[in-house]
Amino acid sequence: MAIDLKKLTQTQLNDLIVRAERRKDEIATESVGRLRDRILKLIADEGFTFDQVFGGKRGRSKGRGGKVKPKYRNPADPSQTWAGRGKRPRWFADALAAGKKEKDLLIG
């Protein structure tokens, strides 16, 4: 399936890229699923369970998902806090842009 890229418009190229990336993700997901099935079958064929081989429960790792204590507080609205993880909230970015320093927003 040869596609002459020189004949495509910008919109057509962008659409092709989006579709190709989507298909690439589908193929990766399918491959992971097949690999997972093969691993689980091998474990079962050997007479073990997933927990016996890998310990713990399937899915989430032990260190993820817990709440983190807030580290910063919005001086304009004390009910808004941020733990310092993930994307900065808008109020935090606005305060920095207004000349505040991170240490000014720390919770006591």
CA 104 to CA 61: how far, in whole Å?
Answer: 35
DSSP 76-106: S-TT-EE-S-SSPPHHHHHHHHTT--HHHHB
Q: For the segment 73-86, what is each residue's pLDDT rounded down to a tens digit?
A: 998 899 999 999 98
**Is the distance from CB of 107 to CB of 71 less than 8 angstroms?**
yes
> Hey, where are the domains in the chain?
10-54, 72-105
Q: For the segment 17-62, what is each residue's pLDDT rounded down to a tens digit?
A: 999 999 999 999 999 999 999 999 999 999 999 888 988 665 555 5
Q: What does the pLDDT read at residue 66?
A: 74
